[in-house]
Chains A and B, each alone.
Chain A
Amino acid sequence: NAGVTQTPKFQVLKTGQSMTLQCAQDMNHEYMSWYRQDPGMGLRLIHYSVGAGITDQGEVPNGYNVSRSTTEDFPLRLLSAAPSQTSVYFCASRRKPGQLANYGYTFGSGTRLTVV
């Protein structure tokens, strides 16, 4: 199994540009999330989804959009990149409640984004 796959691994954007960070998982996980990691702040939740067609905001959603058209994919869109969005982004997934071993999240390898 590939687990959670994120692309690209690195990206440099100019202020105002838009882009989509891709996330795909092959474990049939219902729950998927996007986090950002900033120095000294741990990981913070941007958006999450509890299943195809269902998304909601996390702690720091401004400037980001998500959609969940399939169970496997959960892309994160930056609408108009700003230097404050320079960060490392992680996608994570887990099984839904009621399934065995639904407690833990599996993380992708992250995308390092720099906005100049």
Chain B
Amino acid sequence: AQTVTQSQPEMSVQEAETVTLSCTYDTSESDYYLFWYKQPPSRQMILVIRQEAYKQQNATENRFSVNFQKAAKSFSLKISDSQLGDAAMYFCAYRSARNTGTASKLTFGTGTRLQVTL
């Protein structure tokens, strides 16, 4: 079974600074997707960024980028020029590229709460 580990329960960053959230995962599969979801106090789960395992290039979405290290099974999220609106819980998630049964489910880490200070 796949597992996702987020070892930082809480992080803090000053506005306009850069912060990196860590995520490691365990899987025996070679083809899969990785995601970062943001959950603000509104409770909505918002997809921030995704990475396909077969792609060597790290994904980037505006101020958000990832460092995907497939061999090390590491998938960190970097937030540049942090803004007050970035304050939220961030979840790392894994999904197999297989589409049979529960293989298509998302496996989540326990989350990292990001605080943004002035």
A interface residues (Cβ-Cβ under 8 A, vs B): 31, 33, 35, 40-45, 48, 50, 56, 58-59, 88, 90, 92, 96-97, 103-105, 107, 109-110, 112
Residues of B within 8 A of A58 (CB): 102, 105
Q: Which of A33, A42, A50 lies in contact with B110, CB distance below 8 A?
A: A42
Contact between A45 and B111 (Cβ–Cβ < 8 Å)? Answer: no
Q: List 25 A-B contacts (CB under 8 A).
A: A33-B106, A40-B110, A42-B91, A42-B109, A42-B110, A43-B106, A43-B108, A45-B106, A50-B99, A56-B101, A58-B102, A58-B105, A88-B43, A96-B99, A103-B95, A104-B33, A104-B35, A104-B50, A105-B47, A105-B106, A107-B37, A109-B42, A109-B43, A109-B44, A110-B44
Q: B86 at the A/B interface (Cβ < 8 Å)?
A: no
**CA separation between A110 and B44, bound complex, in Å?**
7
Closest Cβ–Cβ distance, residue A23 to chain B (whole Å): 14
B interface residues (Cβ-Cβ under 8 A, vs A): 4, 33, 35, 37, 42-45, 47, 50, 52, 91, 95, 99, 101-102, 104-106, 108-111
Closest Cβ–Cβ distance, residue B44 to chain A (whole Å): 5
Q: How many A-B residue pairs have CB under 8 A?
A: 55
Residues of A within 8 A of B37 (CB): 107
Closest Cβ–Cβ distance, residue B8 to chain A (whole Å): 13
Q: Which of A56, A92, A96, A103 lies in contact with B102, CB distance below 8 A?
A: A56
- Beyond known contacts A42-B4, A42-B109, A104-B47: 20 more, CB 8 A cutoff: A33-B105, A40-B110, A41-B110, A42-B108, A43-B91, A43-B106, A45-B102, A50-B104, A56-B101, A92-B106, A97-B99, A103-B33, A103-B50, A103-B95, A104-B33, A104-B35, A105-B47, A105-B106, A109-B42, A110-B43
Q: Which of B35, B47, B104 lies in contact with A31, CB distance below 8 A?
A: B104
Residues of A within 8 A of B111 (CB): 42
Q: Which of A42, A44, A48, A90 lies in contact with B104, CB distance below 8 A?
A: A48
Residues of A within 8 A of B110 (CB): 40-42
Residues of B within 8 A of A56 (CB): 101-102
The residue in A35, A48, A104 that gathers the most chain B C-beta atoms within 10 A of its C-beta is: A104
Residues of B within 8 A of A90 (CB): 45
